[in-house]
Amino acid sequence: MSAAIIDGKAFAEGLRARVGTAAVGFEAKTGRKAGLAVVLVGEDPASQVYVRNKGKQTLAAGMNSFEHKLPADTSEADLLAVVEQLNNDPAVDGILVQLPLPAHINEQKVIATINPDKDVDGFHVVNVGRLATGLPGFVPCTPLGCVMLLKDRLGSLSGLDAVVIGRSNIVGKPMAQLLIAQSCTVTVAHSRTKDLAEVVRRADIVVAAVGRPEMVKGDWLKPGATVIDVGINRVSGAEEGKTKLVGDVDFASAANVAGAITPVPGGVGPMTIAVLLRNTIVAAHRNAGLPFDENAL
């Protein structure tokens, strides 16, 4: 293996510490703690873990955590009423509705009900539009975390060729927008892209967010490329009955060709919650009308 390992876990720890310092400053200035509300509908095991970790890390950063756990058969109207109540609560700076939602609830309708200025997930169309047009707003946590890791590793990204594999609203599309904003030349590839390996081989930066275990192989990569693996796929492990997590990149072969690569777990994943805390303290300052150097985080 020749690639450097990009340690997202360590970077996320540093970011959480900086958010913690900012949270102390916010409380000193306003006399109240910044607050994040997280809404979980149903009992999806992975979502339960993510929501528990969000709550713990919010408290550890010195902010208030408000958890709303609703049964799986909650009606769409009742969920929208909870979101409205959080929109109107001055103690709540950021609102996040954990995805996926049960099939009977329209995700877009729920996201559209969140006040865009409390939308710390950056999923509301107003924030999507702000990102696309270069206005200040909120950017989805996972792609923003990827850009932070890339800038930490490479410094300026200007002029680099980037390929994003995947076109989801949560990762692929905002990732492409963020890379354009960093003056990269961006290609968005997906399951129907012709000669995907050839397209990927042109890239200085590869972001894999396609949800297919170990799809991107080492011989698809330009030697020295920086590889960001957003995939979190649970597959059967070597031992019978055991599972393991793998990314969308075949780590073993890719690490022989890439210049740097994020592991799974411990790469992009931990950045998601750390950036959520970052977005929450940013929201708290903006909504209180307080000056704050967001780029220093």
Chain residues that interact with ligand LMY7XDAE, rule: CB under 6 A: 50, 96-99, 121, 141-142, 232, 245, 264-266, 269-270, 272-273
The answer to whether 212 is annotated as binding is no
Phi, psi dihedral angles at 265 (to 5 degrees): -80, 175
Close Cβ partners of 279 (under 8 Å, ≥ 6 residues apart): 94, 120, 121, 122, 138, 139, 141, 144
Nearer to ligand LMY7XDAE, 183 or 236 (CB): 236
The answer to whether 62 is annotated as binding is no
Cα 160 versus chain centre, distance: 22
Nearer to ligand LMY7XDAE, 143 or 218 (CB): 143
- The residue of the chain with the least Cβ separation from ligand LMY7XDAE equals 269
Nearer to ligand LMY7XDAE, 99 or 180 (CB): 99
As measured in angstroms, the least distance from the Cβ of 83 to ligand LMY7XDAE is: 12
Q: How do the residues of the chain divide into helix, strand and coil, expressed in percent and rounded to 5?
A: 45, 15, 40
As measured in angstroms, the least distance from the Cβ of 62 to ligand LMY7XDAE is: 20
How far is it, in rounded angstroms, from Cα 244 to Cα 77? 38
Catalytic residue among 33, 93, 98, 117: 98
Q: Is 118 annotated as catalytic?
A: no
Cα 258 versus chain centre, distance: 23
- 292 by Cβ neighbours in 10 Å (0-12 / 13-18 / 19+) ranks as middle
Phi, psi dihedral angles at 83 (to 5 degrees): -60, -45
Q: Is 33 annotated as catalytic?
A: no
In 3-state terms, what secondary structure has residue 156?
coil
Nearer to ligand LMY7XDAE, 222 or 262 (CB): 262
The answer to whether 105 is annotated as binding is no
Instruction: Output the CA torsion sign for 68, 100, 209, 53.
Output: positive
Close Cβ partners of 26 (under 8 Å, ≥ 6 residues apart): 33, 34, 281, 284, 285, 288, 290
Q: Before 90, cis peptide (omega within 30)? A: no
Catalytic residue among 54, 118, 173, 222: 54
As measured in angstroms, the least distance from the Cβ of 291 to ligand LMY7XDAE is: 27
As measured in angstroms, the least distance from the Cβ of 267 to ligand LMY7XDAE is: 6
Q: Is 204 annotated as catalytic?
A: no
Nearer to ligand LMY7XDAE, 121 or 248 (CB): 121
How far is it, in rounded angstroms, from Cα 111 to Cα 133? 20
Catalytic residue among 93, 119, 121, 204: 121
The answer to whether 16 is annotated as binding is no
As measured in angstroms, the least distance from the Cβ of 170 to ligand LMY7XDAE is: 6
Q: Which residues are catalytic?
A: 54, 98, 121
Binding residues: 166-168, 232
